Structure 1
């Protein structure tokens, strides 16, 4: 077997690695988003400039020149234009990069799935694969197209604003910063929980199990009703939903008090600014000159909540994205089944030579088994449930690779036989059935797309199901 060549990076670094050559486009998009966020803040400072002019002139409009009002107005219009252009180009670049990344990622996932041993699919639910291929990739697309640039802007806006506020008055800037630091401390307590990763994993596992059960429940509804197993099947369905709900409640309960305190302090800038601003204003030597500064802090300082809150929301979203990326790596970094060298057996005796295999490390499902099935003979494997009979059959088809020993067909190691040729040599009837969402005819033709209708009927007759199919409302087109 061989492993995917991707380096085992994790988190955001792994996401950027998956973005590949689109990283440059994303860097440009984020840079333009930062520039647009800076342009968005300009009107606040031009308003401050106008207020200063009005206060210094004691609101005597005749003492104010057109240039004193026209320049701030022109700067405001220019900043609005810069904001619109940068935001548009940033969004366009991020969206095109996101679509390209998701397209390439889904192609990689599909290509990888085609190279995995069939045992991977028996051990993994359809709902789990569906969640990775659809939901997790969709979340990454949304993250790249929207949240990535939002994070850049959400980080840049408070940084630019705080730097400017510190230049205006460091005392009031510290007052603005105080509730933010307290809320960050509370958020850090929440994020630093030792069981945070375990809670996220538990919730994702519960969601995957629930989706897998839903898919299996719907697909197997006909069989469930025929054998009157509705109650037991529903209990499993209900149990997985309950498990997911409990996992969500457990995560919410663990974060309830720190997050409540975080939000209480996070929006409290005015509560701190108002007494501090009034106190400093009363002690100011230049009352008229300091009053616009206080207005600026009331206007801008209280507005810091939105960009920082957006940044915190993006951090939470990033955690979900990182968890989704790690699950994709469960596919992308999984061991592939090696392709045979092209050796073809000349006869079809099957021999197991000292074969051992474990589903779980340390627990052998098959332990040093050796026997031979001669060509033209009929061999039956008899043993208790869980004795390894189905495992031996799956090993013959390379659903899994043997841990020790080898299996030969006509003296040729099955690992040297191309997978497509091996599936033509060995036929396998599964204990579990699966029908594609298609006609009966196309389900039978799945093994040979070139088969004629006569060959499809012949296969059905040989399997003893032709009469059953003909009793269906639309026969083979059902």
Structure 2
């Protein structure tokens, strides 16, 4: 049982990265093998040079006895090794880069698909900058690691091992001396990496970078508001503070490792500092000075050359720490719980029922919806009203499974929505938001989000139903106009009607309208209301509204306050016997009567 638990333990760091690489691991393995071969060919040149020097020194008194054939052979081997090094290094780099591009493409698609499957509550507690950092920066860092460093790590490990093995064969005493500065530097580096404070500085650096990028996104998106209220200086100060915090976190990380990294680099390249006195001590006792001198020269060349591959390996170890943190943040998204579906039901009716539903956004006891029970009959129009913060939008989002209730059930046609697969649920329910988002794409493609397979004629019909067709044909390229380009800008009400056209095209049996006229002027509101009337025909409709007059003819009006249903009925019934609703109607009428006259406001 313990063994099974151990094997099922989630992987982290580079191991997890290789797991995410999936089928691309074969390319990476081939790249690593070729990288090792290229490094071996590169090191072989040192040994062929040693062979030539040895031949010259042995016969330095009698140069005519030099074996020219052996020298030419070694020279030919040197050229061959150089060729093998170049070819293997090129193919290894090509394979690694190809695998890296495939991995980051698949990883970004995987993350985006995952974001589409997790509850929307995840985005409430996560800044856009944090998500952007994961999808862009952390994934990009992985591309660099996969393309350049994984194969280098293989070479950086294999090359010193093969070289040291050969050096031990040549002279074990000098080989041990060569290892002394390496062992000292590794000890220094290891003590620094194992320090919990050092690990925390790395995490803090990632956290401050996320906050900085979140502030950048917020600053850019909020620029019109910042300028209108002349808050440029204070907003910029927040932006500047976030950058300053990131710089300070980088400095703390650098200062923490400053002394140890200085000592590490000082010892790591100090092989000659130990080899020279060792050579002077061993040379007088050597059996043959002519034989020992080439060996000593070989150690000077190769021993000092060990610094580069070993330094690469240590650099990769340090870089892998940053990769591990980036992979952990990617996994924080990939391991978010998805919407669970307990069945594959498809309701045959489209009435909506909430049964004792309770929901809280946070871990505290504050509930946005409390023991809520209500019913929306099939084909009926239902208004949902109440004070701000009363839970109206939460009700709509629970029906769409943006969030999962902690208690109770929500049914469509008698079927629990948890038994309906999410992709089927989206074919049953449509949602028009208060401030609908349009993509930087053509008008047609923005409408076609409601149905990707719909022909142009259906798109046009949907636009006509939403009272937006005349506006679209007046744009520079009609339905092919890219929103936001070539002076193709739409007002808030027009953008809202584009969103309604999507719903026409989608043609779901249940429609939710969440304050859809909140930002519309009088003309646009009238056209949106006409579009709603067409859209609501023979559908189950829930209209969340602050303007009572927009829903006073609804089949049913639900009054919500602090997450609880206080009353339900027609406009006349509630007006006659429900004080809170009467107060809301009076407030709406006073708002509609207010005027400005000679600098004074009257109601």
Normalised to the residue count of structure 1, the TM-score between the two structures is: 0.86
Per-residue deviation at 1:7? 7.4
Per-residue deviation at 1:208? 1.4
1-structure distance, mates of 2:445, 2:103: 33
Q: 1:222 aligns with which of 211, 221, 224?
A: 224
Higher RCO by CA contacts (8 Å cutoff, separation 6 or greater) = 1
1-structure distance, mates of 2:172, 2:467: 83
Q: 2:401 aligns with which of 355, 379, 398?
A: 398
2:351 is paired with a residue whose SS is coil
Q: Is the 8 A contact 1:132 1:327 kept in 2?
A: yes
- Identify if the C-alpha distance between structure 1 residues 200 and 357 changes in structure 2 by more than 3 Å, giving closer, same or farther: same
Q: Is the 8 A contact 2:50 2:298 kept in 1?
A: yes
Mapping for residues 175-324 of structure 1, pairs under 5 Å:
175-324=177-326
Greater share of residues in helix:
1
Judge which range, 334-343 or 72-81, deviates more. Answer: 334-343
2:371 is paired with a residue whose SS is strand
Q: Is the 8 A contact 2:358 2:405 kept in 1?
A: yes
Match of 1:380 in 2: 385
Per-residue deviation at 1:333? 1.9
Deviations 1:268-299 (A, max 9, x none): 11111111111211332322221111111111
Match of 2:479 in 1: none
Match of 1:342 in 2: 346
Match of 2:581 in 1: none
Deviations 1:19-52 (A, max 9, x none): 1122122212211111111111111111111111
1-structure distance, mates of 2:301, 2:522: 79
**Consecutive unaligned residues in structure 2, runs of 5 or more:** 1-7, 453-457, 470-492, 498-516, 525-603
Q: Is the 8 A contact 1:343 1:416 kept in 2?
A: no
Larger radius of gyration, structure 1 or 2?
A: 2
1:335 is paired with a residue whose SS is coil
RMSD: 3.0
Match of 2:5 in 1: none
Q: Is the 8 A contact 1:345 1:412 kept in 2?
A: no
Judge which range, 396-405 or 257-266, deviates more. Answer: 396-405
Q: Is the 8 A contact 2:358 2:371 kept in 1?
A: yes
Matched residue count: 457
Per-residue deviation at 1:72? 1.1
2:44 is paired with a residue whose SS is helix
- Identify if the C-alpha distance between structure 1 residues 117 and 25 changes in structure 2 by more than 3 Å, giving closer, same or farther: same
1:9 is paired with a residue whose SS is coil
- Identify if the C-alpha distance between structure 1 residues 195 and 373 changes in structure 2 by more than 3 Å, giving closer, same or farther: farther
2-structure distance, mates of 1:167, 1:277: 16
Match of 2:488 in 1: none
Normalised to the residue count of structure 2, the TM-score between the two structures is: 0.69
- Identify if the C-alpha distance between structure 1 residues 7 and 102 changes in structure 2 by more than 3 Å, giving closer, same or farther: farther
Q: Is the 8 A contact 1:357 1:404 kept in 2?
A: no
1-structure distance, mates of 2:144, 2:416: 47
Match of 2:425 in 1: 419
Q: Is the 8 A contact 1:206 1:244 kept in 2?
A: yes
Judge which range, 451-460 or 41-50, deviates more. Answer: 451-460
2-structure distance, mates of 1:292, 1:413: 83
Q: Is the 8 A contact 1:414 1:422 kept in 2?
A: no
Per-residue deviation at 1:420? 1.2
1-structure distance, mates of 2:89, 2:139: 25
Per-residue deviation at 1:398? 2.0
Q: 1:11 aligns with which of 10, 13, 20?
A: 13
- Identify if the C-alpha distance between structure 1 residues 301 and 439 changes in structure 2 by more than 3 Å, giving closer, same or farther: same
Match of 2:549 in 1: none
